[in-house]
Amino acid sequence: MSVSALGAILGLVISIILILRKIVPTYAMIIGAILGGIIGGAGLGGTVEYIISGVKNISPAIIRIVTAGILAGTLTESGAAAKIAEVVVKKLGTRNALLSMTLSTCVLTAVGVFGDVAIITVAPIAIQIAKKLDYKKLGILIAMIGGVKAGNVISPNPNAIAAADSFKVPLTSIMMVGIPCSIIAIIVTAMIAKYLSNKGTDVTVIEENKNEEDLPSILGALAGPIVTICILILRPIAGIVVDPLIALPIGGICGIIAMKKTKDTIEYLEVGLRKMSGVALLLIGTGALAGIIANSNLKDVIVEGINVIGFPPYLLAPIAGILMGAATASSTAGTTLGSQIFGPTILEYGLAPLAVGGMIHAGSFVFDGLPHGSFFHISAGSVNMEISERLKLIIWESLVGIGMVGLSTILFGAFKLVG
């Protein structure tokens, strides 16, 4: 028996309310899924069956994300991320200070560092520069947030892995279709950051704990990401398929060797696993909720509504990404839910899987920084910003996301540039 649209909606709403009430998102979504299934008429047995099937569908992405922790842990704990950020800022100089903040966080997330870690890494450097140039908190934080979005859409991070796995397309392809979105994100961010550079409260200097002598060389820092990308692009270039489950750990190990940090390997692996375990658990909750909604007629109601309004079918893809990203305040969970729930229905209209995956992925970045997500609070804390001031940035960071999904929808929905 399928779940009613009302049950699916209530399950999603209950999950959001629980997340806003500070319940752990994984449990919040599982509770929402259980109540949504029961209210929706699936019965206790049917509800459990749908939840398990939803988690089972997302399990391939979970194992890939867990192994990606080897590269992520290496980049953050070895000092590679800090070195990359330092070089980008130094090369661009204070004259292009805001752009250097954007590009630093962009590069870090693009090579596989989590967005919150990228901001925490760049923030001390950004604060020192802002203090010297008399920039305000709003300007430097939006510069870094925009950079995270620009890098995340072209990265081998969990959100891209989830999209690639859901639509059975190469991870590199998802990363490639994100390039136009990344470029527009940098452009929009640059304009907004410039406008906000003298607005908001003054920055306060944060103690820098890193010893520059302990940082690796730039070549060593980039070795892991370069090896990973080279392995992944063997598929489109030479037809040699190496799954991200293999490529990402190999890149991490090669980075460790290149930086001569083999004695710290176990530490990097443990840290990487801790970082990815949170995402893996989040996806279990996401899969549970997706199992209920995917087995409901909610998607049919939404599709029918779009047809009644007269919108073209491809708009369902960016709308799915935007709605699910807002519901979970996470690009990873938003991409996963949008892909798992609405992907099959959208594909029935004859759209290419890569195009649909790219639009859903881009859409997930519009509202992924809402207050019920961790990124909102971590980004605020990175520059000692009060929550009331951080709230003012939501509309601005959403504009960056709108630019990304707008361009993606035009290129891959209206013009069908990939097929």
Question: Is residue 210 predicted with pLDDT exceeding 80?
Answer: no
Sign of the torsion angle spanned by Cα atoms 114, 115, 118, 119:
negative
Confidence of residue 151 (pLDDT cuts 50, 70, 90): very high
Q: What is the overall mean pLDDT for the chain?
A: 93
Q: Residue 27: helix, strand or coil by DSSP?
A: helix
Q: Residue 57: helix, strand or coil by DSSP?
A: helix
Report the alpha-carbon distance of residue 55 to residue 50 in Å, rounded: 9
Confidence of residue 213 (pLDDT cuts 50, 70, 90): low
pLDDT digits (tens, 9 = 90+) for 306-360: 788 888 999 999 999 999 999 889 999 999 999 998 999 899 889 999 999 999 9
The predicted pLDDT at position 303 comes to: 78
Report the alpha-carbon distance of residue 114 to residue 105 in Å, rounded: 10
Percentage of residues of the chain with pLDDT beyond 70:
98
Confidence of residue 305 (pLDDT cuts 50, 70, 90): confident
The predicted pLDDT at position 304 comes to: 84
Q: How far is CA 5 from CA 109, 294, 328, in A?
A: 37, 10, 19
Q: Count other C-beta atoms under 10 Å from residue 381's C-beta.
A: 15
163: alpha, beta or left, given left = phi > 0 and alpha = psi -120 to 50? alpha
From 158, 175, 161, 189, select the one nearest 330 (Cα to Cα). 158
| pTM of the model as a whole | 0.90
pLDDT digits (tens, 9 = 90+) for 390-401: 999 999 999 999
Question: Is residue 378 predicted with pLDDT exceeding 70?
Answer: yes
Looking at per-residue pLDDT, the higher value among 147 and 306 belongs to 147
Report the alpha-carbon distance of residue 335 to residue 333 in Å, rounded: 6
Q: Provide the greatest CA pair distance for the chain.
A: 64
Contact call for residues 140 and 160 (beta carbons, < 8 A): no
Question: Is residue 207 predicted with pLDDT exceeding 60?
Answer: no
Give the number of C-alpha atoms closer than 13 A to the C-alpha of residue 4, restricted to the C-beta side. Answer: 9
Contact call for residues 356 and 343 (beta carbons, < 8 A): yes
Strand spans (E) along 152-304 = none
The predicted pLDDT at position 327 comes to: 86
pLDDT digits (tens, 9 = 90+) for 92-110: 887 899 999 999 999 999 9
Could you say which DSSP state residue 410 is in? I
Question: Is residue 270 predicted with pLDDT exceeding 80?
Answer: yes
